[in-house]
Chain A
Amino acid sequence: MKKAWWKILCVVLLVYTIIGGLLMEVPRVRILNETIRNLYFHVCMWFAMMILFTVSVVHAVRYLRSNQIKYDILSRQYAVVGIVLGLLGYATGLIWVSATWVDPNNSAAASFGAIAREPKLIGSAIALLIYAAYLVLRDSIQDVDKKARIAAVYNIFAFAFLFPSIWIIPRLLPSLHPGGEGNPALNYNDMDARMRVVFYPAVLGWTLLGIWIVSLKVRIAYLNEKKFSQL
């Protein structure tokens, strides 16, 4: 897609997210205070990651039905950019953690122990590991068609396990994340209207950024394919 409108939209949305996120009014919640602004980055990036993984699995299904290599290339690139967004989500989470969950009176090691057992962190680590294993699997097969087919099968299988890992298990276990036990509940379904104004555009902005990166990578991959298949 070489059209420009959605790229401009992406830039506009992200600029709006950053400026609006940092300047506009946010509700005052106990413990979180101003750091709640990180929501526009941390949570929105996880959302965008889930959307990109969903697109990846849709392309995997399309590959299995039609056997055209282009869907396989798309599937892989969406998974890769999804992983990148996931890592960024972890990074923004780290920043948020150092401002809220870490107790400056304890040593760093003690805080780390409590935080690392956090179920949502484990759940998202599982998601990232699953897709990293997907990339390892792809690299272990030489034949292009076989690689595409087996990778597509694993993609679908692994995606079905994402939902239990990220959404269901963390809800079963005691958690430091908002909405779990012992936390001021930032109820995601009932978010303050002031936050929603920035939240949804931010999700769209991060997703479009991911799609933009994927489109560039896919174009490079096509050029490589053409170059090597003409040898």
Chain B
Amino acid sequence: MNSLSQIWTLFKKDVLLEIRQQYAFYGVLLYVGATIFVLYMALEEPESRVWNGLFWVLQLFICINAVAKSFLQENSARLLYYHSIASPQQFIIAKLIFNVLLMLLMSSASFFLFTLFLGNPGFQFVSFLLLVLTGGFSLSLVFTFLAAIAAKAQQNAAIMAILGFPIIIPQLILLMKLSAAAFSQQAGLPYTALLLLLAMDGLVVLLAVILFPFLWKD
């Protein structure tokens, strides 16, 4: 299938760039380390609500940083080249997959560091890890598309944050609900929230694939 192989090639290109330049990965890792250390010095061992809130705020900022770097480091000449060799749907799908992977990596790394420094306020490790991965997945999808929009609007990372915060709030609310369930010792998982979250992710991917060609036309 020609289309799949093209997506795979674009994705490999991103991964190779990342491994050689190591710009986004180590940059974000440094950011994560610094933030967690500052939080550790301020708080030592926060109780569960504070822990939860801080964790998701940190995830939000990690996502913005990680995803912004991926789009904003392409200059216009290179984008023109991509325009001639691949269709916009393939380009955006490759970007989405790459950013999801990057964010999953960053999320898990930040989760481990967070638990290491700020302790475990009483949740089940595996279920929270899965929740963290789901959250990272959702956040990265939305912010990838917003980074695509911001890249056209004068390459400004600040505009991405402005555009992104209102849109991400419903997903954050759902994630908070799931987190609260993970913190409570009962086994019940609010399946409605999880399904809604996944449905919203599907919506984002669909919209991104439909709308990206219009952004691409430049």
Interface SS of chain B: helix, strand, loop or mixed? Answer: helix
Sample of 7 more A-B contacts, CB < 8 Å, known A64-B214, A160-B203? A140-B156, A149-B217, A150-B152, A150-B153, A157-B211, A165-B166, A173-B177
Report B161 CB to chain A, min CB distance, Å: 10
Name the contact of B207 in the complex, choosing from A141, A146, A160 (C-beta under 8 A): A160
Report A154 CB to chain B, min CB distance, Å: 6
Q: B176-210 interface mask toward A, CB cutoff 8 Å, 1 = contact, 0 = none? A: 01000000000000001100100010010001000
Query: Within the assembled complex, what's the spacing in Å between the Cα atoms of A153 and B216?
Result: 11
Known contacts A161-B167, A164-B200, A169-B170; is-contact A137 B153 (Cβ 8 Å)? yes
Write the residues of chain B forming the contact surface with A, with a CB cutoff of 8 angstroms: 145, 149, 152-154, 156, 159, 162-163, 165-167, 169-170, 173-174, 177, 192-193, 196, 200, 203, 207, 211, 214-215, 217-218
Query: Within the assembled complex, what's the spacing in Å between the Cα atoms of A141 and B159?
Result: 11
Residues A141 and B211 in contact, CB atoms below 8 Å apart: no
Residues A164 and B170 in contact, CB atoms below 8 Å apart: yes
Residues A173 and B214 in contact, CB atoms below 8 Å apart: no
Residues B169 and A165 in contact, CB atoms below 8 Å apart: yes
Report B69 CB to chain A, min CB distance, Å: 20
Contacts of B217 in A (CB 8 A): 149
Is A130 part of the contact surface with B, judged by Cβ < 8 Å?
yes
Report A146 CB to chain B, min CB distance, Å: 7
Instruction: Please give me the 7 A-B residue pairs with the lowest Cβ-Cβ distance, nearest first.
Output: A129-B166, A130-B166, A164-B170, A126-B166, A153-B211, A133-B163, A165-B170
Is A168 part of the contact surface with B, judged by Cβ < 8 Å?
yes
Interface centre among A136, A157, A168 (most CB of B within 10 A): A157
Residues A169 and B211 in contact, CB atoms below 8 Å apart: no
Residues B163 and A137 in contact, CB atoms below 8 Å apart: yes
User: Which of under 10, 10 to 19, 20 to 34, or 35 or more describes the interface residues of A?
Assistant: 20 to 34
Query: Within the assembled complex, what's the spacing in Å between the Cα atoms of A127 and B166?
Result: 8
Query: Within the assembled complex, what's the spacing in Å between the Cα atoms of A122 and B165?
Result: 13
Residues A136 and B159 in contact, CB atoms below 8 Å apart: yes
Name the contact of A149 in the complex, choosing from B154, B162, B214 (C-beta under 8 A): B214
Known contacts A164-B196, A164-B200; is-contact A129 B170 (Cβ 8 Å)? no
Residue of A nearest to B142 (CB): A161
Residue of A nearest to B197 (CB): A164
Is A176 part of the contact surface with B, judged by Cβ < 8 Å?
no
Q: A98-125 interface mask toward B, CB cutoff 8 Å, 1 = contact, 0 = none? A: 0000000000000000000000001000
Report B76 CB to chain A, min CB distance, Å: 13
Interface centre among B166, B192, B218 (most CB of A within 10 A): B166
Query: Within the assembled complex, what's the spacing in Å between the Cα atoms of A150 and B146?
Result: 11
Contacts of B207 in A (CB 8 A): 156-157, 160
Contacts of B218 in A (CB 8 A): 146
Residue of A nearest to B148 (CB): A153
Query: Within the assembled complex, what's the spacing in Å between the Cα atoms of A129 and B217?
Result: 28
Contacts of A141 in B (CB 8 A): 152-154
Known contacts A136-B162, A137-B159, A172-B192; is-contact A130 B167 (Cβ 8 Å)? yes
Residues A153 and B214 in contact, CB atoms below 8 Å apart: yes
Query: Within the assembled complex, what's the spacing in Å between the Cα atoms of A134 and B174?
Result: 24
Known contacts A141-B154, A146-B218, A149-B217; is-contact A161 B159 (Cβ 8 Å)? no
Report B189 CB to chain A, min CB distance, Å: 14
Is A152 part of the contact surface with B, judged by Cβ < 8 Å?
yes
